[in-house]
Amino acid sequence: MTGGKTVSGRRRLLLGGAVCGLLAACAGLAAAELGAAAVRPEAAPVAAVGGTLVDLAPAAVKEWAVRTFGTADKPLLAAGILLVLAAVAAAAGVLAAHRPRAGAAVAAGIGLLGAAAALGRPGAAWRDALPSTAGGLAAAAVLYGLARALRRPGPAGAPPGGGAWAMDRRGFGRLAAGVLAASAVAGYAGRRLGAHGSAAATASRAALVLPPPALPAPPVPPGTDPRVLGASPFFTPNREFYRVDTALVVPRVDAEAWRLRIHGAGVTRPLELGLRELLQRPLVEHDITLTCVSNEVGGPYAGNARWLGVRLADLLREAGVRPPSEGGPADQLVARSVDGMTLGTPVETVMDGREALLAVGMNGEPLPFAHGFPVRMVVPGLYGYVSACKWLRELRLTTFAAYDAYWVRRSWAARAPVKTQSRIDTPRPSARPAAGRIAVAGVAWAQHRGISRVEVRVDGGPWQQARLAAADGVDTWRLWSWPWEASPGRHTLRVRAVDGTGAVQTEARAPVLPDGATGLHTVTVDVVPPGWGGAA
């Protein structure tokens, strides 16, 4: 091997090596994708490593990611992992160009790291190691082969006997293109087969006919939704309903195979039921606004839906559970999802008479997969992270003293009732509306206490009473509007709500950590003189 000593030979090893590494990574990811199709999508290396990172990330980092990237945080995390993988793969490729065996060993090692991550995921079985292991082996084999090919001197410097196998630039290009094409085909096939794997879940959702409620929700009073242009509708369509969870791959649960287990302290009759058995119980319909503790003041993580489900309190009674106020030993209900999430809810709260539900329906259809199909919890008055477990699979009764759920271990509060909040939906921040009458409108929520008043203030002026839309009960948000006679210039609008107990929403600013943000939503707009063609 003499070419390697020259400058161009060294460049060839460096650049060519990096290319070999990247190609090997493609081959590895494709093989892993095929493997994941055979096992489960959550076991694919990027999903497994991503899930591990999400779980390891300190609360502050996660909170920052959600605040900065919103719901794009998951694709960005995946992109970040792929970037790091590309860098490591390129380095392994350069190593392989000099020492093929060592480079291949590094590639296989990366696969093992992915396998370890997959094995560490909640509910993992041994076979979850398969996708990353297969990926690592494929990458190692491809890298070894490519590196050997790269090291073969080209025809010009070919030693006698290099013969037909001697690799020139074009030959290497062909080999590279072949690896890429094979990876693309394998990767695509893996994706398709993987989607096929969840076909049973998709079919089970399509086939699910929700029984009519034994207790239908009363008709929504007229006037709950004044339909002000640019303001939130009273019911949030499922497609637009916010989504907050740690799942990099949305769990697709087969309703036919779904089981729920209820057990733990004070459970005298442990229950285990499938969906059919759950649906044999009387169903209740109830409108509940769900909000996330990570919602900044004025933020988007709030939605309102008509839920259909079984009363959680009835099911707990059936299992023999008594709330602490009746001498029951458990004060915490820990819900666990199929993806290993745990959420802790006060037993007293879910049994105090409010419509805490094991929901199966959302706005007239089975729960969408992203919102917890087939069964999730919804409890009016509590933030989602302490109540709204999606893809539910287990309910365990314990105490707050004995067990910290997922978010509590990450420095969020163990108990988190929803704080009174109000939001201006229109005009938008930095809007340039034309002077004259402008509809200021938005939503206010204080679930299970209700909203009794909303007030708006312009600049340093007095608090003025907004027009409240009709209330649909204490568990949903209330829409409001206020006609503003706006004069040209820059103005700041503020909103505050008064809850059903008469308590005024606090102006004091608090961050979302540990138990929800407070402060007043403030929107600044530039009102332009009439005839300037302003825009909300």
* Cβ atoms of residues 137 and 111 within 8 Å: yes
- Count of other CB atoms within 10 angstroms of residue 32: 33
* Contact flag: residue 385 with Mo ion (CB under 5 A): yes
Q: Which stretch binds Mo ion (CB under 5 A): 18-26, 138-146, 377-385, 484-492?
A: 377-385
Q: Cα 303 to the chain's mean position, in Å? A: 15
Number of residues that bind ligand MTE (CB under 6 A): 18
Cβ-based nearer residue to Mo ion, 394 or 515:
515
* Distance of alpha carbon 423 from alpha carbon 303, whole angstroms: 12
Is 384 a binding residue for Mo ion by CB under 5 A? The answer is: yes
Among 46, 66, 94, 244, binds Mo ion (CB under 5 A): 244
Q: Does 292 bind Mo ion (CB under 5 A)?
A: yes
8 Å CB contact between 486 and 433: yes
Nearer to Mo ion, 131 or 516 (CB): 516
The reply to whether 390 sits near ligand MTE by the rule CB under 6 A is yes
How many angstroms separate the CA atoms of 471 and 220, rounded? Answer: 9
Give yes or no for a contact between 534 and 432, defined as CB atoms under 8 angstroms apart: yes
Q: Is 369 in the site for Mo ion (CB under 5 A)?
A: no
Closer residue to Mo ion, CB minimum distance, 108 or 293: 293
User: In this chain, which stretch among 304-312, 353-361, 378-386, 512-520 interacts with Mo ion, using CB under 5 A?
Assistant: 378-386
Neighbouring residues of 118: CB distance < 8 A, sequence distance ≥ 6: 42, 43, 45, 48, 124, 128, 129, 131, 132
Q: Are 520 and 496 in contact (CB under 8 A)?
A: yes
**What is the spatial distance between Cα 433 and Cα 419, in angstroms, rounded to a whole number?**
31
Q: How far apart are CA 151 and CA 326, in angstroms?
A: 78
Among 389, 418, 424, 441, binds ligand MTE (CB under 6 A): 389
The CB-of-408 to ligand MTE minimum distance in angstroms stands at 12
Part of the chain binding ligand MTE (CB under 6 A), chosen from 73-81, 97-105, 334-342, 441-449? 334-342
Q: Compute the least distance from the CB of residue 224 to ligand MTE, in Å.
A: 21
| Shorter beta-carbon distance to ligand MTE: residue 291 or 420 | 291
Name the residue among 521, 387, 523, 512 with its Cα closest to residue 65: 512
The site that binds Mo ion (CB under 5 A) totals a number of residues, namely: 4
Residue 244 engages ligand MTE in binding (rule: CB under 6 A)? yes
CA distance 83 to 270: 48
Q: Binding pattern to ligand MTE, positions 281-320, x when CB under 6 A?
A: ---------x-x----------------------------
Count the Cβ atoms, other than its own, within 10 Å of residue 163: 9
- Asked if residue 179 lies in contact with residue 29, where contact means CB atoms within 8 angstroms, the answer is no
Q: Could you say which of 183, 337, 345, 476 contacts ligand MTE (CB under 6 A)?
A: 337
Residues that bind Mo ion (CB under 5 A): 244, 292, 384-385
Residues that bind ligand MTE (CB under 6 A): 241-246, 290, 292, 337, 339, 341, 371, 384-385, 388-391
